[in-house]
């Protein structure tokens, strides 16, 4: 099935959906609470609004063959209710939330968040874009005995989630190749990189064989190799340009009043929509990796004053260890995540300044404070799909699809605002260099005057 191009608008009493379908001989429309779906072979669209819609005497559907647009008007169940984020088309396409599923499909399991994002029970790894077709294919050969066996095993385990004591020993693997990428779901992409030039990949062909611990060790060694005391001192003393960058007001300071163009919405809709099974540990790792991604974005956004350059792709990829070193292993807590981002911002890019790092941390908090809309707006502000940072673009698209919620992103914003890494945690003599630059120790000229 094909997802048609569409847009949504609203007024006090209704929601209007406009779909581009060049032919509309047979139209099937279904409205169920917050969910609206329409089928016009070969097109299918299913949207989930933040409030309930109903079909009544004021509702209608009209097709204009001269333009190819079908316009559907639905009444709001609660007149005057505001439906948020109607311009975030990818969010409207997301499956029904857990709170709605509880009302229609029975109670949630113990510990399941109410009103959060949709949590799939199967992982979609490929095939049809229609989840219903994928589910039918997956369960086609399932027998009652198999279902009964799974339920009995769960009942015998007391319906508890299996737990284990963490081990310091590396996980035993029978494969030479090690997985990496989003949820460690990829391998084999770096087999032949030795024959091509790449200024971002710090691991080379070894990326296929290094464990997480080895990637971390390689990354830290490369950061220390790139660390330049004289460069840092120069930016500390001659900081007029950096101070101007720090004073620049990020568009995320307000986070409102920005709309997406039709081209930008189309680009986001082209991102793969895939469902993943994510454990609590993986969810936390994704959240902290998100901090590193957004820090790199915030640094480039601020240092270019909102105007991307040909170096923007390199800057973002170099500052984000998940992209340049395939490294997410050190992200056990927020502080270590920020320390890694600070180290890279002080070792690689054009401007290397501690106060600039602090300002970028605040920018990340502002982005997260905007919730799902704030993070999605990173596509709007910089058009990263145009300047070559496809890794960030697709990573954020996958993250927003499976785990993001306004509540959780808001908590991350509060968490990052309450943590300031000390300079001693960076591993380099920053304070000693700054003290020397400020002349805390008298120089020879001062001694001669005395």
Structure tokens at 115: 């009103």
pLDDT value of residue 127: 52
| CB hemisphere CA count around 242 (13 angstroms) | 21
Residue pLDDT, tens place only, 134-151:
444 444 444 555 555 655
What's the whole-number mean pLDDT along residues 15-23? 90
Average pLDDT of the chain to the nearest whole number: 77
- Decide if 379 contacts 264 (C-beta within 8 A): yes
Length of the chain: 450
Q: How confident is the model at residue 92 (pLDDT cuts 50, 70, 90)?
A: confident
| Rg of the chain on CA atoms, in Å | 26
| Preceding peptide of 42 cis, ω within 30° | yes
pLDDT value of residue 348: 96
pLDDT value of residue 112: 41
Q: How confident is the model at residue 396 (pLDDT cuts 50, 70, 90)?
A: confident
DSSP string for 4-71:
PEEEEEE-SSEEEEEEE-S--SS-EEEEETTEEEEEETTEEEEEE-SS-EE--TT-EEEEETTTTEEE
Q: How confident is the model at residue 252 (pLDDT cuts 50, 70, 90)?
A: confident
Residue pLDDT, tens place only, 101-160:
434 444 434 434 434 444 555 555 555 544 444 444 444 444 555 555 655 665 565 544
- Decide if 98 contacts 114 (C-beta within 8 A): yes
188: left (phi over 0), alpha (psi -120 to 50) or beta: left
**In the predicted structure, residue 242 carries a pLDDT above the cut 70:** yes
- Decide if 383 contacts 308 (C-beta within 8 A): yes
Report the alpha-carbon distance of residue 151 to residue 374 in Å, rounded: 41
**In the predicted structure, residue 287 carries a pLDDT above the cut 50:** yes
What torsion do the CA atoms of 446, 448, 449, 450 make, to the nearest 10 degrees?
Answer: 90
pLDDT value of residue 329: 59
Q: How confident is the model at residue 241 (pLDDT cuts 50, 70, 90)?
A: very high
pLDDT value of residue 117: 45
Residue pLDDT, tens place only, 35-50:
999 998 888 889 999 8
Report the alpha-carbon distance of residue 158 to residue 147 in Å, rounded: 17
pLDDT value of residue 185: 77
**In the predicted structure, residue 283 carries a pLDDT above the cut 50:** yes
pLDDT value of residue 107: 40
pLDDT value of residue 279: 75
- Decide if 350 contacts 231 (C-beta within 8 A): no
Q: How confident is the model at residue 60 (pLDDT cuts 50, 70, 90)?
A: very high
| CA-based nearest residue to 367, from 354, 382, 350, 352 | 382
């Amino acid at each position: 099935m094909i997802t048609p191009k569409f847009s949504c608008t609203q007024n006090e009493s209704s929601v209007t959906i406009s779909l581009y379908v060049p032919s509309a001989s047979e139209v099937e429309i279904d409205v169920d609470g917050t969910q609206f779906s329409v089928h016009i072979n070969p097109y299918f669209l299913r949207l989930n609004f933040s409030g309930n819609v109903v079909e009544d005497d004021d509702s209608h559907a009209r097709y204009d063959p001269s333009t190819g647009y079908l316009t559907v008007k639905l009444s709001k169940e609660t007149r005057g209710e505001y439906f948020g984020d109607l311009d975030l088309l990818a969010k409207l396409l997301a499956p029904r939330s857990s709170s709605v599923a509880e009302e229609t499909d029975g109670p949630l399991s113990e510990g399941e968040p109410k009103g959060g994002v949709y949590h799939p029970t199967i992982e979609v790894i490929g095939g049809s874009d229609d989840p219903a077709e994928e589910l039918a294919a997956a369960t086609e050969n399932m027998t009652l005995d198999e279902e009964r066996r799974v339920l009995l095993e769960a009942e015998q385990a007391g319906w508890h989630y299996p737990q284990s004591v963490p081990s310091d020993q590396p996980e035993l693997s029978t494969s030479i190749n090690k997985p990496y990428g989003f949820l460690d779901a990829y391998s084999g992409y770096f087999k032949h990189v030795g024959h091509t030039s790449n200024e971002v990949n710090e691991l080379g062909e070894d990326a296929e064989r290094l464990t997480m611990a080895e990637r971390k060790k390689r990354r830290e060694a490369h950061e220390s190799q790139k660390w330049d005391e004289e460069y840092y001192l120069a930016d500390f003393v001659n900081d007029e340009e950096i101070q101007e960058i720090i004073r620049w007001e990020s568009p995320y300071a307000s986070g409102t009043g920005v709309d997406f163009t039709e081209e930008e919405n189309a680009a986001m809709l082209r991102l793969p929509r895939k469902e993943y099974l994510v454990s609590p540990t993986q969810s936390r790792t994704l959240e902290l990796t998100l901090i590193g991604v957004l820090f790199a974005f915030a640094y480039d956004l601020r240092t270019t004053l909102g105007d991307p350059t040909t170096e923007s792709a390199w800057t973002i990829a170099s500052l984000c260890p998940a992209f340049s070193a395939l490294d997410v292993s050190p992200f056990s807590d927020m502080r270590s995540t920020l320390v890694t981002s600070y180290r890279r911002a002080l070792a690689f890019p054009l401007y290397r300044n501690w106060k600039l790092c602090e300002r970028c941390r605040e920018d990340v908090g502002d982005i997260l404070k905007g919730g799902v809309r704030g993070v999605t707006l990173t596509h709007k502000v910089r058009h990263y799909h145009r300047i070559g940072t496809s890794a960030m673009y697709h990573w954020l698209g996958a993250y927003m699809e499976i785990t993001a919620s306004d509540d959780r992103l808001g908590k991350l914003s509060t968490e990052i605002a309450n943590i300031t890494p000390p300079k001693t945690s960076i591993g380099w003599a920053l304070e000693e260099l700054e003290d020397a630059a400020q002349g805390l120790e008298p120089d020879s000229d001062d001694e001669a005057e005395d």
